[in-house]
Amino acid sequence: MGVSSPPSVKPRPIVGREALASLREAPVFPLPQAVLFPGARMPLHVFEPRYRRLIRDALDTTRVLVVAHVSDPVHLDEHGNPSIEKVAGLGHIAEAQELPDGRFDLVIEGRARVFLRELAFLPPYRRAAIELLDDTGGEVSAGDHASLLAVANAFIAFIQAKDAAFQLTLPTSLPAGRIADLCAHHLVLDAHARQQLLELLDAGARVRRVADVLAEQLAVFKREPQGALN
């Protein structure tokens, strides 16, 4: 007898920007070391009962949730919740598969930066009022754009030389600020640095900072024995 595939939850149409702007609140999924950027895709495996409930509720309604970086995993509030950053990534559940034991395999697609005002805790999971954050402008020069692409592609090539399974192609048709977001999500290694980049709304400054961070990372790895990545 063959083994049947786990039931799959069919995705609904992706929520557009206008619809996102009309949202007043969203469930919060706090994660250590995780920062979700607009345009990036984040795989998640959900196993805790409270977050299974969060995902089920999201799938039944907007398919939207907030991925919030845990700023202090040690000190918990009276409900046992860790501190989270106030600027977070608003994500849409692009793919979802519920496993036979109730766990979920997901792909979350980043849709926007949001400012959080956490609401009173109603178990089992946290919720927050959300305010969409737009880039404040900040000119991106052709030189800065080219420098970002050059150092990002050099870093990607360095990783691929060590790990052929790593794949990342930067779509050059995107605005430079969005390319910086993808680089920050996939290539910047330090979670604190990624959070700072999420909070940086000046696109020009963000492009330059991502390029600087990647150049620093590449220089460090090239100095280490055999260019170790671990």
122 and 45: one domain? yes
Domain assignment of residue 2, yes or no: no
**Chain mean position to CA 206:** 16
Q: Kindly state whether residues 78 and 157 are assigned to the same domain.
A: no
Task: Compute the distance between CA of residue 103 and CA of residue 45 in angstroms, rounded to an integer.
Answer: 7
pLDDT in tens, the chain (230 residues): 333 334 444 444 446 777 787 889 999 999 999 999 999 999 999 999 999 999 999 999 999 999 999 998 888 888 889 999 999 999 999 999 999 999 999 999 999 999 999 999 999 999 999 999 999 977 899 999 999 999 999 999 999 999 999 999 999 899 999 999 999 999 999 999 999 999 999 999 999 999 999 999 999 998 876 655 65
Domain shared by 119 and 193, yes or no: no
Are 19 and 128 found together in one domain? yes
Could you tell me if residue 182 is inside a domain?
yes
Residues in Cβ contact with 58 at an 8 Å cutoff, skipping those fewer than 6 apart: 27, 64, 65, 93
pLDDT of residue 226: 61
The residue among 133, 163, 184 that closes a domain is 133
Out of 86, 115, 133, a domain closes at 133
For 118, list phi and psi in degrees, rounded to 5.
-65, 140
Structure token pair of residue 43: 């795989």
Say which amino acid occupies 75.
Answer: H
For residues 124 and 161, membership in a common domain is answered with no
Residue 174: inside a domain, yes or no?
yes
d(CA 102, CA 104): 7
Say which residues have a Cβ less than 8 Å from residue 188's Cβ, sequence separation at least 6: 194, 197, 210, 213, 214, 217
Within a domain: 161? yes
Which domain covers residue 33, as residue numbers?
A: 8-133
pTM score:
0.89
| HEC sequence for the chain | CCCCCCCEECCCCCCCHHHHHHCCEEEEEEECCCCCCCCCEEEEEECCHHHHHHHHHHHHCCCEEEEEEEEEEEEECCCCCEEECCEEEEEEEEEEEECCCCCEEEEEEEEEEEEEEECCCECCEEEEEEEEECCCECCCCHHHHHHHHHHHHHHHHHHHHHCCCCCCCCCCCCCHHHHHHHHHHHHCCCHHHHHHHHHCCEHHHHHHHHHHHHHHHHHHHHHCHHHCCC
In this structure, what CATH number is given to the domain that contains residue 35?
2.30.130.40
Query: Domain count of the chain?
Result: 2
* 150, 123: one domain: no
Task: Name the domain boundary from 82, 111, 133.
Answer: 133
Pairing of strands 87-98, 104-118: antiparallel
CB 197 within 8 A of CB 188: yes
For the segment 118-137, what is each residue's pLDDT rounded down to a tens digit? 999 999 999 999 999 999 97
Q: How far apart are CA 66 and CA 64, in angstroms?
A: 7
Let me know whether 121 and 181 are in one domain: no
Same domain, 21 and 108: yes
The pLDDT value recorded for residue 111 is 96
Query: What pLDDT, on the 0 to 100 scale, is given for residue 72?
Result: 86
Contacts of 181 (CB under 8 A, 6+ apart): 37, 38, 39, 40, 110, 197, 206
